[in-house]
Chain A
Amino acid sequence: MKKISAENLDYRELNNALHECHCDATVTDCLGQRFIAAGKAHYNYVIEGISGNALGAYLNGSVIRVNGNAQDAVGDTMNAGQIFINGNVGDAVGYAMRGGEIYVKGNAGYRAGIHMKAYKEKKPIMVIGGKAGSFLGEYQAGGLIVVLGLSDNNKPIVGNFPCTGMHGGKMFLRTKPESVDFSGRVNVNKAEKEDLEEIKPYISNFCKEFGYDEKEILNSEFTLVTPDTKNPYKQMYVAN
């Protein structure tokens, strides 16, 4: 694994170095450089430090690990691959992602998983270990969002207006259904044991990566949110 120090490199120089090495690489001293590994399909990357906005945008198969916090728009329009953030993440993580997996150990900012979608064998997965900000899963059209609420920052597991405009996919929150105020247009139920089977492999990945006890997490009460097909998110139109 090649080591590349990001010290004194701007994002273009750093990405060029990653582009030209054609190999797995560890980036050290990362300090907010943007667009790291944008569109990458091969090779794996470890980032030491804080990755800047749009880490792994359009990612197409690479695996990225960040040992630190990450900024906004991680995994924007991601198609395949995995991103592990061993820290907190900024706003709009996984915007419009269609495939691949994002695991965040800590908290996520606003609009996590906005407009996530799924297609055939592609099913995007996002597991947030801590709490999520407002507008979680806005316009969610597919895929799976799991929030575990493991951080103790005294905030609710999710901020205001979760699932606004949700029209596909599923969301699991490790909390009681009545503890969150959802928009009227989603179905909110207690997750049954068979529901939890679906998230088990991803909880397992999360626990392996960040050192949590899988059984303890799965033994808690989860809320399952799905779109309400009887009350769909759409405007009423009349032809004119």
Chain B
Amino acid sequence: MGIEYIYPEFEVVRNADRCIKCGVCQRQCANEVHKLDEDLNVMLSDEAKCVNCQRCVALCPTRALKIVKSDCRLRENANWSDSTIKEVYKQASSGAVLLSSMGNPNPLPVYWDRILINASQVTNPPIDPLREPMETAVFLGKKPEKIQRDENGKIKCELAPQIKLPVPIMFSAMSYGSISYNAHESLARAARELGICYNTGEGGLHKDFYEYGPNTIVQVASGRFGVHENYLNAGAAIEIKMGQGAKPGIGGHLPGAKIVGDVSKTRMIPEGSDAISPAPHHDIYSIEDLRQLVFSLKEATNYKKPIIVKVAAVHNIAAIASGIARSGADIIAIDGFRGGTGAAPTRIRDNVGIPIELALASVDQRLRDEGIRNNVSLVVGGSIRCASDVVKAIALGADACYIATSALLALGCHLCRTCQTGKCNWGIATQRPELVKRLNPDIGYQRLVNLVTAWQHEIKELMGAMGINSIEALKGNRLMLRGVNMTEKELEIFNISHAGE
């Protein structure tokens, strides 16, 4: 086989007039792109190692650097794109499965962008959220079908356990191991300050973070890492992870090299041993089996915690959700196929699953049709990017949204999509101490608080424009939505009218 050199995807453009050879870029780059040649006194770049994380650009004191996409391309071919050809090269030389990070970057339809929100004009007044009270709090958990009274006519007030959120947003599961201690601390502190929840993922709960228990969702996945009695009782709720939007139907594998120090302690497995999460839960082959895991967790926690079942959005999601709603679970979390990941096989990430918008619309409709919508709350994630996505999701029937990629962006992530290397220059997706310390949790948590607070303001503003002052009145209110650029079938699934109708 001949030479198969893949030309670097990015170019480092260094303005020689501005560069003072201070070496900041060299020290900041864990990928070792920059190097000072002391004999010639010039900064050199090995662009083949560059992932375009923009760390050097952001920290260069004289703004001497920029990273640009290389214009050295293979001959244009609409069928055989550059990336497709390079993937063949990579596999031909390695014989290995392609592994990618973060959400699907391909130009597939984003239905949020094809849905438009209504506003009040003339016949009903909009509301100014700065002047009038607006309610954005939601309660997640099983709701009673009807009001029940005791023999004296008093309303019976016993409710199944609930999670109260002042704003319908939570941080979704990212394990300690896939992200750093400082990233977890930032999420935990922000969740406490905001009164919302963050999620441990399946890496267990670090001993330092038990104090954030009331704002923590603890996850139980097929590997059961770090799961024990205290862990189950530590959180506000327990999430059974059946699937993940970025990799439906497959498990996880954190290599032994990453199981070091506190990651090993938190997962409760020896240093250097592989952490394999099998694709299935081996005790779950049916809704009845799922019910057994749900109730074993309820028994172990004395029925005090809501149980969440998280599934990936896949073709039969409505039927699956209907089963889960009958399994005794309190909350269903659905993760769409544009959701993020620390590492997933490229082919799975880019081809398996369905968009969250369609999954949410069909699940909410199915549960209503079957009269079991009150059995569960619905939480959706898998690329909720902004406040208007949240509002659209609520209007389609969600009770709350999970965000993760946007939370990481708030912490400094530049979406370079190389989390799997463990060399995150922003201190997020890494366990290397010198990189982890670059993320200051005092700043990180404040930025997360800012983000969610800003979204809350925007949610109130969008609600006010619609003339709605309580988020409960927006829930499942699809009359507030119109579609653009959609087929009849798409409109039918969303059960919304086309704009202009």
Chain A interface (Cβ < 8 Å from any Cβ of B) = 11-12, 15, 19, 34-35, 38-39, 41, 53-54, 57-58, 60, 72-73, 76-77, 79, 91-92, 95-96, 98, 111, 114-115, 117-120, 122, 138-139, 141-142, 165, 167-168, 232-240
Contact = CB atoms under 8 A, between A and B. Distances in A.
Given A34-B292, A238-B90, A117 B269 contact: yes
A76 B296 contact: yes
A142 B458 CA distance: 50
A233 B276 contact: yes
B46 interface: no
Contacts of B282: 92, 95, 111, 114-115, 138
B224 A237 contact: no
15 contacts: A12-B299, A35-B296, A57-B300, A76-B296, A95-B224, A96-B227, A98-B224, A118-B269, A120-B270, A141-B274, A142-B270, A165-B276, A235-B345, A240-B100, A240-B346
A73 B283 CA distance: 7
B273 interface: yes
Contacts of A12: 299
Given A72-B283, A115-B282, A60 B269 contact: no
B253 A240 contact: no
B270 A118 contact: yes
Contacts of B300: 35, 38-39, 57-58
A240 B270 contact: no
B94 A236 contact: yes
Given A77-B227, A119-B270, A19 B94 contact: no
A112 B96 CA distance: 32
Contacts of B295: 11, 34-35
B421 interface: yes
Contacts of B253: 234-235
Interface in B259-309: 268-270, 273-274, 276, 278, 282-283, 292, 295-296, 299-302
Given A79-B229, A111-B282, A139-B276, A236 B96 contact: yes
B490 interface: no
B276 A240 contact: no
B255 interface: yes
A96 B224 contact: yes
A125 B428 CA distance: 38
Contacts of A240: 87, 90, 98-100, 346
Given A77-B227, A142-B270, A57 B99 contact: no
Contacts of B95: 236
A208 B356 CA distance: 57
A139 B99 contact: no
B232 A58 contact: yes
B493 interface: no
B136 interface: no
Nearest to B418: A239
- Specify which of B255, B268, B270, B299 lies most central, judged by the most chain A CB atoms within 10 Å of its CB: B299
A58 B227 contact: yes
A73 B295 CA distance: 13
Nearest to B98: A240
Contacts of A167: 273-274, 276
A58 B228 contact: yes
Contacts of B99: 237-240
A236 B253 CA distance: 11
A77 B297 CA distance: 11
Given A57-B300, A237-B97, A238-B94, 10 more contacts: A11-B295, A35-B295, A58-B296, A73-B296, A92-B283, A141-B269, A142-B270, A232-B274, A235-B96, A236-B96
Given A15-B299, A92-B283, A141-B269, A79 B224 contact: no
A236 B229 CA distance: 35
A92 to B, nearest CB: 5
Contacts of A72: 283
Given A60-B229, A142-B270, A165-B276, A238 B255 contact: no
Interface string B312-338: 000000000000000000000000000
Contacts of B224: 77, 95-96, 98, 115
Given A95-B282, A114-B282, A54 B96 contact: no
Contact of A233 (B98, B274, B296, B421): B274
B223 interface: yes
B228 A98 contact: yes
B450 interface: no
B274 A119 contact: no
Given A92-B282, A236-B94, A239-B421, A39 B301 contact: yes
Contacts of B91: 238
Nearest to A60: B229
B120 interface: no
A41 B229 contact: yes
A87 B255 CA distance: 39
B420 interface: yes
Contacts of B220: 77
Closest 8 CB pairs of A and B: A39-B300, A96-B224, A236-B96, A240-B98, A35-B299, A238-B96, A38-B299, A237-B99
A30 to B, nearest CB: 15
Contacts of A39: 229, 232, 299-301
Contacts of A95: 224, 282-283
A167 B100 CA distance: 25
Contacts of A236: 94-97
Contacts of A15: 299
Contacts of A79: 228-229
A96 B223 contact: yes
